[in-house]
Structure 1
């Protein structure tokens, strides 16, 4: 049996640490075999051959103060696991992708209801970055700014995009990465599970190769260690357990300003070798509505749409500001993200790096945030004026007749 025909084989480990500053650990993580319905990090879960129902790992970074953040993140991993098991085996990749999104959305609604029912937990929430494996494909559902990276042939790529104000401004070209380092509102995330009744899950995917190393982490790690260090540890450390330990120690040595959670998954079999020069990058995945599936069967190209989002203004009038509360801005449409069908690849950014700032989310912020905007381009204004003149002339001509 060839590598491609045998089940995907994974070696993995996960670790969470309170860090050097926090009194409580509000992070949680999920490791679960959806085929055996086992959960946790027992020995049999650290080296697995993928079953027909798939496998899932995830990181949730809670917020809310006292014990509320821990409650939110624990509830998220519990609900997501239960929802992914509900209904039996996924029939197709699309089925698993749809279930992943639904499970994250359901967890967000459940946390929101819990928070509304208990005044001491109002405002609690959590990020969620969940990776679900089926065949040799991994789907990643993300809400918030916990990240997923992939190391391939020594090159580290970011497979997610932080749902934060500072990253949105960077994507829009309104802020450089250097300016972002000192941006006063770099602690604001755009959404989290539990802070609103609904969330918008960012769903991405990637096809795995032998030797790939997938890493999920909270910003307690990504905000303390630069990409070069992460790539060094993942490249030089064979054991996922040792990689988790080394990364956690480095984050603590750098200050340990937040809770630190990391999961490392190494692909050891059941997948092809990567093509020469092939790299990983952010690829958004669009799930067809059920009503479209019959049409898609006849014409597979109709299953996915490629949507281009304008890489520029935030669509707000000059001087307009947003009120920010509890370091959350409600759900905003991501700026500068391209949605790609499977097989259609986005050109990676030259440096393939994301902002390394620390996105703390545990302090109230109620001051207005002024978002830089631009005026309409001159050619647009010219077109509008020319059209108005032509219309006026036509109306005048008709009036004379």
Structure 2
């Protein structure tokens, strides 16, 4: 039995934190969004007085979402995600314990995915939209991270930086299977393929991990516009050299832009302190990617069959949705944003209540560039199935191009 929030150190963990998002130097739309919220005070502000928090009985929430879909649809998806996740975790009773918080976190991410999927079917202009999501929450020393897609979470502990989330991408699956090395992955032709995203299907498999925080730990969450442009060693040294989260975010975004700024760039930096957190010790378990196992009764509630109970089965795209990806060919749409620091998005104040039943047969119809990120939501499938799909898709493209050239 886990401790209740009152027993589990609520109100005795302090954070200094900040978040920043930037359009980059190539993109014309910023399709990223982020969220920093004090759930106890129900505050989402990043004003100077809100950049320090004491973790209360409802906890602290942070999220980075990288939208996809083009023509403003990506920013709609990522904004829907952060709004719905916040609303789901801010409503209801205080979490009973950390397992209750973890369950609510997974459900909130799933609810966001279903809502984005439904909205995309209701509005033709938004068909095919989706978003990654990396979401962190805590009420005590257990920091939970819920992951869909390839945005990332890192922990800096002392001089060591560790990625504590796992990319849901074809490249990462090939690396884990021993088919690619880290060096080969940097130049891999199909590194734009991710395995799932919120909104591209009616359900997702949320990867739930955790970190047992120590005094002085730093959390950094980011979209691939940062992790894909700034080398790992530079990320570590920047976080070590900048104790102020505001300054750390500024320098990280600046480094991504100096490296080319090919994609939207978003990061959150949070530093943890407080007497309740244990100091770093030689006896601590090795900091690493660690999956969190919910109790059987809670885990059963989150199975696909249980998630669909009471929800009408929805039609929609399973393979082939695209995400605008970094490109060297320059901008092709009108610029609408540069940098946002805790600002209000165009969807602020939008009614997020219930909608009519989703339309049937809403398939993605928008054109995709050759370097767009392809979403193949087949998480858990054997590696040979993924490779067969990739080869089939690209073979069909080559065959079509040859046919068009001949005619």
Fold shared by both chains (TM-score > 0.5): yes
Write out aligned runs for 1:206-355 (5 A). 206-269=211-274, 270-276=276-282, 278=284, 279-290=286-297, 324-326=320-322, 327-333=374-380
Distance 2:111 2:27 in 1: 29
Greater Cα radius of gyration, structure 1 or 2: 1
Distance 1:235 1:78 in 2: 32
Change beyond 3 A, Cα 1:206–1:111: same
Q: TM-score, normalised by structure 1?
A: 0.74
1:47 matched to which residue of 2?
A: 52
Match status 1:174 vs 2:179:
yes
1:189 matched to which residue of 2?
A: 194
Deviations 1:173-198 (A, max 9, x none): 12122221222110011000001110
Write out aligned runs for 1:2-401 (5 A). 7-269=12-274, 270-276=276-282, 278=284, 279-290=286-297, 324-326=320-322, 327-333=374-380, 366-367=393-394
Deviations 1:371-390 (A, max 9, x none): xxxxxxxxxxxxxxxxxxxx
* Shift in Å, 1:171: 0.6
* Shift in Å, 1:154: 1.1
Distance 1:368 1:147 in 2: 31
**8 Å Cα contact 1:12/1:47 also seen in 2:** yes
Distance 2:73 2:319 in 1: 23
Change beyond 3 A, Cα 1:216–1:43: same
* Shift in Å, 1:221: 0.2
Greater than 6 Å deviation, 4+ residue runs: none
Distance 1:230 1:291 in 2: 36
Aligned residues: 311
Deviations 1:284-341 (A, max 9, x none): 0121243799xxxxxxxxxxxxxxxxxxxxxxxxxxxx975530111321889xxxxx
* Shift in Å, 1:14: 0.3
Change beyond 3 A, Cα 1:225–1:89: same
Higher relative contact order (CA 8 A, sep 6+): 2
Question: What secondary structure does 1:149 align onto?
Answer: strand
Distance 2:147 2:209 in 1: 8
Q: TM-score, normalised by structure 2?
A: 0.73
Deviations 1:13-69 (A, max 9, x none): 000000000001000000111111111212332111110111000100000001000
* Shift in Å, 1:119: 1.1
**8 Å Cα contact 1:200/1:331 also seen in 2:** no
Change beyond 3 A, Cα 1:183–1:112: same
RMSD over aligned Cα, in angstroms? 2.2
- What stretches of structure 1 of length at least 5 have no aligned partner? 294-321, 337-364, 370-401
Deviations 1:337-374 (A, max 9, x none): xxxxxxxxxxxxxxxxxxxxxxxxxxxx94259xxxxx
2:387 matched to which residue of 1?
A: none
Question: What secondary structure does 1:367 align onto?
Answer: helix
Distance 1:263 1:99 in 2: 22
Question: What secondary structure does 1:38 align onto?
Answer: coil
Question: What secondary structure does 1:51 align onto?
Answer: coil
Distance 1:76 1:246 in 2: 27
- What stretches of structure 2 of length at least 5 have no aligned partner? 1-8, 301-317, 323-373, 384-391, 397-407
* Shift in Å, 1:256: 0.4
